[in-house]
Structure 1
Amino acid sequence: IAEACGSRRVRYRVTAHQPPAAESIAGSTAASVFEAARAALLPEGYPGSVRPEYLRFQVYDTIQAACSYLRAILSTGAILKASGVGEAAASPMAAAVAWVLRDGFGMCGSLLFASLVGVGFDENVKEWRLFADLINDVGLTLNMLAPMAGERFFLVAALGSTCTSICGMVAGATRASITAHFALSGNLADVSAKEGAQETAVTLVGLLVGSYLFAPLVGESAPAVWTAFALLTALHVYANWQGVGCLALLWLNRHRAVLASRDWAASAAPPSDAPPEALSPAALSRLERPWGPFLSSLQGPRLGARLPHLCASAEDVCALRDAFAGERYWLRLDPAGRAHVMLSAAADGEDALRALLHSALCAGASGGAAGSGGAVPLLAAERRAIEQSRARAEAAWPKFSSALLEAGWEAAALRNPPLGWRFTCE
């Protein structure tokens, strides 16, 4: 009988009427050390207990964390030097008060930012994760520039502290969603704990490298300090771009839903006879761009439009009500072909996705909606076009939703339906 636990191997010789006796034990010291490190830093059951892109993301995350730690040494040194640390004439109390006020402004800024955009963290996790690291770059750069600001030192330092505080808040919020995505077998706590262990390990390595290699190498030379800071910032941006880009999230936000519905509608268009397939999460992740949600909000289907955007008269209201009877959304195109969608108060994520599919099937058409009110009256030809497109969307929905589930998406619905204007028919 042979037993194994990681790199440890034990073979037992079983003899009649005798207790099992260990015959041999295999496993080198190096293998044992590797196994101990693996157990401390990787989730139990790796790689089967996490998503396929877990290791790649963590490698890039480790690189960016190390870059941030080393740059923090440089920026903190610049702030301390500008505060008078090390100078005989400097007042310790004045430096301490300035430091506390700087941190206080940073905390207030992060609270204000969270109150303004907190809802968007769940919808656009990848984009906000990248934003967090970029705003951290801005904050560290401001800290480096603060000593050169003269009388405006405190203002620049406070802005830098605000940026780094916003980074910590946004990174923590998005990290929760990313960790939940990686936890494949109900091991959210284990994955979170191992990420904390990885951060601790990176901090310890950064402490040693920064104290004994990096700081003496850079020294007090301003050109050397700025060169090192610029190189680390470039590496930090690259690592974050690659890390966020490899994430294949399994839920649909508005941007991913627009990409998926447009691709499926194009595949389903004549002369194609084959059953169209939906983009998988991995395939769609390669099409995503950090600025995609912003462009979708400006150019893509407009979810949460208001009545004046779609209807010019009571007759238009009745026509749309009849055309979309049984649906929880109304849709009309503007002259540029952009869909404007009114969602009912009862509409959920599935209804929002149905509206996006409907808008994708209307590609190339146009109508009389208006983005800022003043819609053109709904004529008979446009009404017939709306009724025909609604019938196509209704017939296509079962195929589209099935294709999404077969492609690996967790649900055929938007995970976070928009919270804007909703309508009810009284």
Structure 2
Amino acid sequence: MCVHICENELMSFIRSYVVPEGFPDSVSPSYVPYMTWRALKHFFGGAMGVFTTQALLHSVGVSKSQAMPGAVAINWIIKDGSGRIGKMLFSRQGKKFDYDLKQLRLSGDLLMELGAAVELATTAVPHLFLPLACAANVAKNVAAVTSTSTRTPIYKAFAKGENIGDVTAKGECVGNVADLLGTGFSIIMAKRNPSLFTTFALLSCGYLFSSYREVKSVVLHTLNRARFTVAVESFLKTGSVPTLQEGNMMETVFNIPWCKDGPVVLGSRFKEAFQDANSFYDVKPVFEKERYVVAYNPLKGNIYAVLKDKAKSDDILKAAFHAHVLLYVLRSAKHIQVSNEYTSGDHVTPLPRSVDLQAHVAESYNMVSALYEPFKSKAKEQGWVMSDSLLNPGRARICEQVR
């Protein structure tokens, strides 16, 4: 009886450190898989830290074997200082961290591994310790910024009610515990003098796989460009909007953050969207009642949504939806081949000039008139938050009085 009570008290003590109060009802279902993969990632990260630190210390010792300890310390300070400068410069990106949260988190982990690999490389060329160590520290500090900047939105997605602080604290505790366990494991392994590069390669694979699974397990309610594309394409093909779980699972996380992630460009400049003024005037009458203009530029193989100066939040959403509808119409026409960059990276094949673009634009307008409101309604039913803020529409606008 006493043993059973002690076990319960021990479990209660452990739970108070690693799970939020009221668990599992206080967090979303995706919390457990996320924290599991997060713990594994930190375990591998902690293990790698031992080997990379060992490599750096060995390299600075070899490259400065005849130098005074003060010179070695100066090199180490310069290495750390360059990393902090890189972190400061990268932090100015600000709002952009919200646009492609998952993509940025995964890219940050890839950058972290690149930095660790460069640190390891200092053992092969110790005389290049300072430039390599500085480059590695810049990469790792930039990666740290991405991790810090994307942490809160992810934890916010797990929290139910006003417990974001509790969720964050417990999540960080799990990460620290896993990091310490990985460090201890690596110290034990290091005493056996394993192959440095083989061990690092294995730990890196575990780290990156855990990072990928960690990011994929996050279920966000907002529609950024990638999830918006998934939702619209599914709606146009099946008439239904994917659930939060389905939409997040279908979202690709390997895109380069902030870069154009497909043949649809939202908020583009006039000269990018239209070959010449006549191209604009050809489609302008279709959008007289709208605060945007959607067009296809055959020279670039992309769909462009150009926003007018009075475009509001719903206008931006509608412009993005219309752009995807036009893409769907053009791809459905067998004699037209639009850029497949988003899905397969195929070479862009320009649209023949002889094709009647006005007819396709008019067809897309009729479809949007009939489908936009049902799309929004079904998206909201599935729990999606409809906002233009994460679509990154840019600042380019055209005057509605263009002649």
Bin for the TM-score computed over the shorter chain: 0.7 to 0.9
CA contact (8 A) 1:328 1:347 kept: yes
Partner residue of 1:124?
100
1:232 maps to what in 2?
203
Q: Which structure ranks higher in relative contact order (CA pairs < 8 Å, sequence separation ≥ 6)?
A: 2
Contact 1:257 1:353 in 2 (8 A): no
C-alpha separation in 2, matches of 1:166 and 1:293: 15
Deviations 1:209-253 (A, max 9, x none): 344x23323x3xxx5222221111111111111111122211001
Counterpart of 2:214 in structure 1 is: 243
CA distance in 2, matches of 1:154, 1:91: 16
Residues 37 and 210 in structure 2, CA contact (< 8 A), matched pair in contact too: yes
Which residue is 1:300 aligned to? Answer: 263
CA distance in 1, matches of 2:191, 2:248: 42
* Residue 137 (structure 1) aligns with: 113
The residue type paired with residue 108 of structure 2 is: A
Q: Answer yes or no: is 1:264 the counterpart of 2:227.
A: no
1:6 maps to what in 2?
none
Structure 1 residues 89 and 317: alpha-carbon distance in aligned structure 2, compared to 1, 3 A threshold: closer
2: CA distance between counterparts of 1:66 and 1:96?
29
8 Å contact from structure 1 (residues 265, 360) kept in 2: no
**Alpha-carbon contact 2:241-2:382 (below 8 Å) kept:** yes
* Aligned-pair CA distance for 1:207: 4.5
The one-letter code sitting in structure 2 at the alignment partner of 1:76 is T
Q: Secondary structure at the match of 1:148?
A: coil
Matched, 1:359 2:323: yes
Moved more, 70-79 or 284-293: 284-293
Q: For the residues of structure 1 that align with 2:98 and 2:42, how far apart are their CA atoms? A: 23
State the TM-score, normalized to the length of structure 2: 0.85
- 1:47 aligned counterpart, secondary structure: coil
* Counterpart Cα distance in 2 of 1:134 and 1:312: 38
1:350 match: 314
CA distance in 1, matches of 2:312, 2:255: 23
Whether the aligned pair in 1 keeps the contact of 2:104 and 2:146 (CA below 8 Å) is yes
Which residue of 2 is the match for residue 93 of structure 1? Answer: 70
Distance 1:410 1:73, change over 3 A: same
What secondary structure, in the 3-state scheme, does the structure 1 residue paired with 2:75 have? helix
What letter is aligned with 2:17? A
- The alpha carbon displacement at 1:346 in A equals 3.5
The answer as to 2:140 corresponding to 1:169 is no
Aligned to 1:415: 390
> Which residue of structure 2 aligns with residue 197 of structure 1?
173
2:19 matches 1:42:
yes
Is 1:52 equivalent to 2:29 in the alignment?
Answer: yes
Contact 2:274 2:295 (8 Å CA) reproduced = no
Q: 1:73 aligns with which of 50, 74, 78?
A: 50
How many residues align? The count is: 383
Cross-structure match for 2:190: 215
CA distance in 1 between partners of 2:195 and 2:100 (Å):
38
- Structure 2: distance between partners of 1:202 and 1:77: 20
The one of 360, 370, 374 equivalent to 1:395 is 370
User: RMSD of the TM alignment (CA)?
Assistant: 3.2
TM-score normalised per structure 1: 0.81
Are 2:296 and 1:333 equivalent residues in the alignment?
yes
Q: 1:413 to 1:86 in 2, by over 3 A?
A: closer
Match of 2:134 among 150, 155, 158: 158
Residue 162 (structure 1) shift: 0.9
Partner of 1:33: 10
Q: Which residue number in structure 2 is paired with residue 111 of structure 1?
A: 88
> For the structure 1 residues 161 and 150, does the alpha-carbon distance in structure 2 shift closer, same or farther, using more than 3 Å as the test?
same
Q: What's the CA shift for 1:329? A: 1.2
Equivalent residue for 2:286, pick from 323, 329, 334:
323
Q: Partner amino acid for 2:89?
A: L
